[in-house]
Amino acid sequence: MASLKQIRYFLSVADLGSFTLAATALFVAQPALSRQIALLETELGFPLFTREARGVRLTAAGSVYRERVRSIEQMLAAAAEEGGQLASGEAGVLHLLHSSSIPATSLLPAIGKFLEACPRARIELDRVASETQIGELAAGRADLGIVRLPLLRRDPGVSFSELPAEGLWVTLPAQHPLAGRETLLLAELRDEFFVSAVHRERGGLARLVTDLCLRRGFVPKTARVISRKTSMLNLVAAGHGIAVIPERMTGMASDGLVYRALADDDAKACSALALPLQPGALARRFAAIMQQTFAATP
């Protein structure tokens, strides 16, 4: 089978019409170039050139061969370019996961900056529970995750980098007696029904809120209808109870809701970037942009 070197030599001779000119352009000795072309012709079983006094010209078979192998050279050049862009974090597909309590709308500024910085990159965005994200990252099925803390399970193959904390807010039905207040204290919610509940195998937002309530001496009352996803806001709007949420979720507008900040000093929610121990260039690029964007967001 023809080697890539032989193909490159052949195309140079074919384009320049001369062994002498091709040898000069390739920075090789003419006898070495002639030997490689002769070996290629032997391998193929037909002559590629007709030797003439002033140079060479392609045979009919050589012309067809040139058209076919030229695309190989172009494909190899394109592959090298794309590989280099992928290695430098300029191209490729980023498989990005996020928790439901970190809504996609809050990621859009970072996503926009990433796409601007990497015009040949794409993002596949999926909403996945924080604990599940860790398994996906460890198994190599995702590149980067944005998880809500605390986490009950971790994996030695996944590293974490905390993002700036955000305040906790309470969302209430618009007609709720507490809706007229500017701020609230968590202890004032002890008689309310919460439309979220702790999952026995997961950490995340519900566990954080429950722990904060326990510090104040009460267990959150569970509403008759609950959700661990952003649909909890619909349940609040429908009058099934209240929910304590991170500030970034307050941007998810819904009719019939009001949002009030919690004034407790410890009413903070934390999230983190989760990455494989050897993240790809795209993941590293996006993680850096996320850190900068979240740090700059009030």
Q: Name the residue with tokens 């300029």.
A: 90
Together in a domain, 149 and 281 = yes
Together in a domain, 153 and 181 = no
Together in a domain, 33 and 53 = yes
> Domain span at residue 59?
4-87
Show which of 87, 109, 126 is a domain's final residue: 87
Together in a domain, 17 and 59 = yes
Together in a domain, 264 and 172 = yes
Which are the contacts of 148, defined by CB distance < 8 A and separation ≥ 6? 99, 101, 102, 130, 203, 204, 205, 208, 246, 269, 270, 271
DSSP state of 45: T
Together in a domain, 141 and 262 = no
Together in a domain, 177 and 262 = yes
Return the axis-axis angle of helices 30-44 and 19-26, rounded to nearest 10°: 110
The number of distinct structural domains making up the chain is: 3
Together in a domain, 135 and 282 = yes
pLDDT in tens, the chain (298 residues): 778 888 889 999 999 989 989 889 999 999 999 999 999 999 999 999 998 878 899 999 999 998 888 877 777 766 665 566 556 556 689 999 999 999 999 999 999 999 999 988 999 999 999 999 999 999 999 999 999 999 998 899 999 999 999 999 999 999 999 999 999 999 999 999 999 988 877 889 999 999 999 999 999 999 999 997 888 999 999 999 999 999 999 987 678 899 999 999 999 999 999 999 999 999 999 999 999 998 876 5
> In angstroms, what is the C-alpha Rg of the chain?
31
Could you tell me the CATH number of the domain that includes residue 194?
A: 3.40.190.10
Together in a domain, 82 and 96 = no
Residue 74: both structure tokens together: 């172009």
Together in a domain, 97 and 238 = no
Together in a domain, 231 and 287 = no
Together in a domain, 160 and 130 = yes
